[in-house]
Chain A
Amino acid sequence: MNPIESVVTQIQGLSSSATDVSVLNTYLKQAEESLYTESTRLLPFLDHLDPSIHSLGYLYILDACTSGPISKEQAKTLVLIFARFITSCVADQIRLASDKFISVCKRFKDQVMLLEAPMQGVAPMLSAVRKLQSSSAHLTALHPDFLQLCLLSKCYRTGFSVLEEDIFEVDQPRDLFLYCYYGGMVCIGQKRFQKALELLHNVVTAPMSSINAIAVEAYKKYILVSLIHRGQFSANLPKYASSAAQRNLRNFCQPYIELVNSYTTGKIAELETYVQTNREMFGSDNNLGLVKQVVSSMYKRNIQILTQTYLTLSLQDIANTVQLNSSKEAEMHVLQMIQDGEIYATINQRDGMVRFLEDTEQYKTCEMIENIDSSIQRIMELSKKLTTIDEQMSCDPLYLAKAGRERQRFDFDDFDTAPQKFNI
């Protein structure tokens, strides 16, 4: 019998129970070599297998037959096979060979990109991510690829659904960097600036021994988003950021730091000329869109400052102080901001006056109480998690070994059983 055929029969026979599948896994590992040598003739055999039943075997064969170079014509048919497999395979089976699954999915992503149809990849990649995850807090190697496809196909909403889950377990730092960077961009696309800031902040402050390109790009976006969302930016990184980041990031992003400086002067004209003169540089960084948002956010910021100082103000005065061209334009800005809930105000069109109101939220409604309650629950859960991790850490042999080594010699005082305060 043809060796491939025997492999296929083995797969067909050993795919029902969990024990069978693990036997199959060891068998397939041994047969891997021969599969690779036959890689060109494997494709027809896939028809004999059902991806929803023979997932593991299907995975091995698919991996083997796509290991060589693939032309664009082949890619078209392969993409369909990939997609069908990823969506219908059984999670338990493919997790036995997660490395294979990851490389198959990455190959799938490459094919989709080759065909310039990233949209086709979004849904299969999402289910791939879900199948590979051991829990929702687990960051898989596929997360960044999935988010990249979302970005390319502008499916921000789908991407955002993944970002809403908090990630705690990370396999590879690089995955986290990319995940947070792409995730930040997805959130920017969804205008969820708070979340975007959080993700980009994670990249910038992540422990790193040397500076990397992802962190530099993330820092640029972090500066811009911080200006858009908060209207300010402090160039000092928090203490916990790595020293590599503290020392070098600013130097890589000098034009952006200068943008911050000209933003903080509060003068629109100055900011606009600065942006104009550095237009090409921002464009080559693919940040021109964000920079434009920074400029328009300045109008908002200035109007918001006015709400704190004025009770009523004519549209003309607003236009003058915020440096808009006409009262009509000022009206549009104010209207937009009222709609977005950024300010509380009413416009009196007859007199051309705007009346600024206080925040109407009284913190008395049921929804607010529920909101607060859910916040409390969330934080309680979080602090529970913190305690468990602390406990784990204090029992971790690796950590204890390191801590012990650092404290070279034990002082005699350490063995002193009497409490300190009794030592007079």
Chain B
Amino acid sequence: MEADDEIYANGGDGPSRNRPIISGEQLDIEAYAGLYTGRTKITRLLFISDHCDNPQMQLEALRMAYDEIKKGENTQLFREVVQKIDGRLGPNYGMDSAWCETVDRRAEQRKERLENELNAYRTNLIKESIRMGYNDFGDFYYAHGALGDAFKSYVRTRDYCTTSKHIIHMCMSAILVSIEMGQFTHVTSYVSKAEQTPEALDPTTIAKLRCAAGLAHLEAKKYKLAARKFLEVTPELGNSYTEVIAPQDVATYGGLCALASFERTELKNKVIDNLNFRNFLELVPEVRELIHDFYSSHYASCLDYLGNLKANLLLDVHLHDHVETLYDQIRNKALIQYTHPFVSVDLNMMANAFKTSVAGLEKELEALITDNQIQARIDSHNKILYARHADQRNATFQRVLQTGSEFDRDVRAMLLRANLIKHEYNLRASRKL
């Protein structure tokens, strides 16, 4: 775990905390990859190599992916990675056709054996064995990278599940494969299916399900729901779900989604005072600090942290697409919160607090006011923002008069239409006669 802390430790604790963090500081790929196991490790490494413009990091990621794949049996992926490396890592990381062939041959044999076994089980109609057979098939396909087939095999076990434990097992396998495939609608449905069989759920599984649901909501851009799911993850998760998510990710995803979507009170109650979540936050001090900074209105430092994290977050396979939106929402939230308690705000000071220029700030505020998110007006001459309190009485008068004339208009139009319909009906009636 010690190594894990290093991943985002570009601010660190103690004296180095206020040191300006270089935004381009490199992700420690080795430590990062150490957080994950299984296929997601490879996927994440490949994602980094695809989205990183630093060739050194790219090669590093590819090298580790190569090593990792070599441990498994996925020859298809192996060929792709070798192509990507393109001989840049020396002869040790070239095409190993001998390995590929042996693996493929073995896979062929194993598949045959599995098929024979399954057929035998099916003729004997032993439910449990059929389930096992399909499950083995699922595992086999998964190991060889045939995700679609793996998913089908796992789902097929469903008809042969006899205990709730089996159902949970089926759901977890289906969720795992669906996440790998990026089919997050499947994830949601299997999470709810698993939650419907509460008797077999142990705390670790519950935590895993929460993570999966959170990921699904995140992908669907439902940040508030995602935040809630991540916040419900209990510390029992530990390192048990590293084939999908690391506890550090729970803190980052949950923290950012919460910042972007929660009101102040909810932030306080569900994030800062949440003992369970605090354990996760300890793993990623930056996120913890930035949440606290946000809550205690130290926006400059909060935005600083965010800025520093950005480069690394963009290399995250799940967060990548959402970083910009989340950041915009957090920034807008911060601006709104900053102006909220004041009757008038000096734009110069505010621009300082947000580390931006007055002109830029004016533009941002303008957008928020037009959107009716801030009730205020800008005195551009003196660079002051004045809160605007709507005159209830005048507004009511205005609305009443408007409603009146609308009603007037609508009724008249309606009478006219009724008349036309009547006319048309009469016409038709007289034609019939």
A residues apposed to B, CB below 8 Å: 166-173, 176, 198, 201-202, 205-207, 240, 305, 308-314, 317, 351, 353, 356, 358-359, 361-363, 372, 375-376, 378-379, 382-383, 385-386, 389, 393, 398, 402
Contact of B424 among A166, A169, A173, A314 (CB under 8 A): A173
Does the CB pair A311–B377 fall under 8 Å? yes
Q: Do B416 and A202 touch across chains, with their CB atoms under 8 A apart? A: yes
Beta-carbon contact of A311 and B417 below 8 Å: no
Task: Say yes or no: A308 contacts B407, CB within 8 Å.
Answer: no
Indicate if the CB atoms of A363 and B393 lie closer than 8 Å.
Answer: yes
Assess whether B408 is in contact with A379, with CB atoms less than 8 Å apart.
Answer: yes
Interface residues as binary, B175-213 with A (CB distance below 8 Å gives 1, 0 otherwise): 000000000000000000000000000000000000000
Q: Closest CB-CB distance, A140 to chain B, in whole Å?
A: 14
* A167 touching B423, Cβ below 8 Å: no
Any chain A CB within 8 A of the CB of B381?
A: yes
- Chain B residue nearest to A356 (CB atoms) is B377
A36 and B426 CA atoms in complex are apart in Å by 33
User: B413–A202 contact, CB under 8 A?
Assistant: yes
Having A207-B424, A363-B394, A375-B401, one finds 20 other A-B pairs with CB under 8 Å, namely A170-B416, A170-B420, A170-B423, A171-B423, A173-B420, A173-B423, A202-B416, A206-B416, A309-B365, A309-B369, A310-B380, A311-B380, A313-B381, A314-B380, A314-B381, A353-B381, A375-B408, A379-B407, A393-B418, A402-B425
Set of chain A residues within 8 Å of B369, measured between Cβ atoms? 308-309
Residue contact A312 to B413, C-beta cutoff 8 Å: no
Alpha-carbon distance A77/B415, docked complex (angstroms): 43
Bound CA span A176–B381, Å: 54
Interface size of B by CB at 8 A reads 38
Do residues B380 and A313 form an inter-chain contact, with CB atoms below 8 A? yes
The answer to whether A168 and B419 touch across the interface, beta carbons within 8 angstroms, is yes
> What residue in chain A is nearest B425 (Cβ atoms)?
A398
* Residue of B with least CB distance to A167: B416
Distance of A393 Cα from B353 Cα, bound (Å): 68
What number of residue pairs across chains A and B have CB atoms under 8 A from each other?
Answer: 100
Q: How far is the CB of A266 from chain B (nearest CB, A)?
A: 10
Q: A386: which B residues are within 8 A, CB to CB?
A: 411, 415
B346 to chain A, nearest CB (A): 14
Q: Are the C-beta atoms of A168 and B417 separated by less than 8 Å?
A: no
Q: When the two chains form their complex, are residues B377 and A309 in contact, meaning their CB atoms are under 8 A apart? A: yes
Contact status B413-A205, CB under 8 Å: yes
Q: Considering the complex, give the chain B residue whose CB is closest to the CB of A310.
A: B378
A309 and B366 in contact (CB under 8 A), knowing A170-B420, A205-B417? yes
Q: How far is the CB of B429 from chain A (nearest CB, A)?
A: 6
Q: Across the interface, do A168 and B380 meet the contact criterion of CB distance under 8 Å?
A: no
Contacts A206-B417, A361-B394, A379-B407 hold; do A166 and B412 have CB atoms under 8 A apart?
Answer: yes
Q: Which of chain A's residues have a CB closer than 8 A to the CB of B412?
A: 166, 168, 382
Q: Please give, as numbers and ranges, the residues of chain B lying within 8 Å of A311 by CB-CB distance.
A: 377-380, 386
A309 B370 Cβ-Cβ under 8 A: yes
The residue among A308, A383, A393 with the most chain B CB atoms within 10 A of its own CB is A308
- Interface contact A207-B421, CB-CB below 8 Å: yes
Which chain B residues numbered 321 to 378 have a C-beta less than 8 Å away from chain A? 365-366, 369-370, 377-378
Q: Is the CB of A317 within 8 A of B380?
A: yes
What are 29 residue pairs bridging A and B, where the CB atoms are less than 8 Å apart in the complex?
A171-B423, A172-B423, A173-B423, A173-B424, A176-B416, A240-B414, A308-B370, A309-B366, A309-B370, A309-B377, A310-B377, A310-B378, A311-B378, A311-B379, A311-B380, A311-B386, A312-B382, A313-B378, A313-B381, A314-B381, A351-B381, A362-B394, A363-B393, A372-B400, A372-B401, A379-B407, A382-B411, A386-B411, A398-B429
Residues of B contacting A383 in the complex (Cβ-Cβ under 8 angstroms): 411
Are B413 and A198 in contact, with the CB atoms below 8 A? yes
Q: How far is the CB of A15 from chain B (nearest CB, A)?
A: 34
Contact of A201 among B397, B413, B419, B426 (CB under 8 A): B413
**Closest CB in chain B relative to A234 CB, distance in Å:** 15
Contact B420 A206 (CB under 8 A): yes
Q: Tell me the residues in window 373-410 of chain B with beta carbons closer than 8 Å to chain A beta carbons.
A: 377-382, 386, 391, 393-394, 397, 400-401, 404-405, 407-409
Contact of B377 among A170, A308, A385, A402 (CB under 8 A): A308
Report how far A379 CA is from B419 CA in the complex, Å.
19
